[in-house]
Structures are given as C-alpha cells and as structure tokens.
C-alpha cells in the first residue's frame, strides 16, 4: 500500500513539474513572442502592419538571443523619443539600444542593459530599417 501511494505521489509530482515548466523571457512566456501583429514608432508616427515571415523570424531570433542576465529590471520610466515598438497579441515590446520596455494592460516593466548587448542593438536597427527611420 505504501509503495502504491509513493508511486501515485511520484506520478502526480512529475505531472505538476512538467506542467509548470515554461520558458520565460523578461517575465513573458516565450510563446507570447511568436505572433507579431505590427511594429510602430510613435515619435516618428510610423506604423507597419504587413510584415514578411522572414522579418518576423529575424525579430524572433534576436529576441531569443537576448540574455536576461545582461539586463536589470528597474522602475518603469516614461521616456521621450521614437523607440521602435513591437505589438504582440498580449503585450507591447519597446526597444532602444539600451533598454527594453514591456507594457501589458495592467503592468509596465523596464529592463536596462548592464553591458553592451549586440542582439539588442541589432534588433533596434532592424526595426528602424523596416520602419524607414
């Protein structure tokens, strides 16, 4: 009977651990980064809704290359400028050469880079090029 209970408990714990195993990047499930709706730059008043699959794949790859340990989470600041923004289904992802800002309906997060992050700079430049800025 004890062995049966231990076996059931082991199976239950395995299921729970597998179910909780999600990949997060900057507080968002990595799957949430897969559906880009549009990109825009508010300061330059430019928006682009039709994006090629190749462009979306490049953006996805660059976001995946960002290492969270190169950033520090800081209090959200309202910044002026025309940083390019990626609009996803559930949130907005604003990019500059030195920070990332994630905006959801109820929360706002900001991550400042601790060191020079080449993937972040490349992502910023790619978005600006696509928007023609």
- Residue 91's pLDDT is what? 93
- Residue 28's pLDDT is what? 85
Tell me the HSE value of 45 on the side-chain side, using a 13 A CA sphere. 0
- Residue 38's pLDDT is what? 92
Q: What is the mean pLDDT of each run of 10 residues along the chain (133 residues)?
A: 78 63 78 88 78 91 92 83 86 92 88 94 92 81
- Residue 6's pLDDT is what? 80
Total domain count, the chain = 1
On whether residue 9 sits in a domain, the answer given is no
On whether residue 17 sits in a domain, the answer given is no
Supply the range of the domain harboring residue 55.
23-131
- Residue 114's pLDDT is what? 93
Q: Is 78 helix (H, G, I), strand (E, B) or coil?
A: coil
Identify the residue whose tokens are 């800025």: 133
- Residue 17's pLDDT is what? 57
- Residue 42's pLDDT is what? 73
On whether residue 12 sits in a domain, the answer given is no
On whether residue 2 sits in a domain, the answer given is no
On whether residue 122 sits in a domain, the answer given is yes
- Residue 3's pLDDT is what? 82
- Residue 102's pLDDT is what? 92
Q: What is the CATH number of the domain that holds 120?
A: 3.30.1490
- Residue 26's pLDDT is what? 85
Instruction: Round to whole Å and give the CA distance between 61 and 129.
Output: 17
Q: Which helix (H) or strand (E) holds 47?
A: strand 46-48
């Amino acid at each position: 009977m004890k062995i049966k209970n231990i076996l059931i408990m082991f199976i239950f714990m395995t299921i729970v651990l597998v179910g909780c195993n999600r990949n997060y990047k900057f507080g968002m499930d990595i799957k949430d980064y897969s559906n880009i709706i549009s990109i825009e730059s508010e300061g330059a008043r430019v928006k682009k809704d039709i994006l090629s699959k190749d462009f979306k794949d490049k953006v996805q790859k660059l976001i995946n290359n960002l290492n969270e340990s190169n950033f520090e989470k800081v209090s959200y600041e309202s910044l002026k400028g025309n940083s390019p923004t990626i609009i996803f289904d559930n949130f907005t992802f604003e990019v500059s050469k030195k920070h990332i800002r994630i905006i959801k309906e109820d929360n706002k997060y900001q991550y400042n880079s601790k060191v020079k992050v080449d993937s972040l700079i490349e992502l910023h430049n790619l978005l600006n090029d696509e928007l023609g800025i």
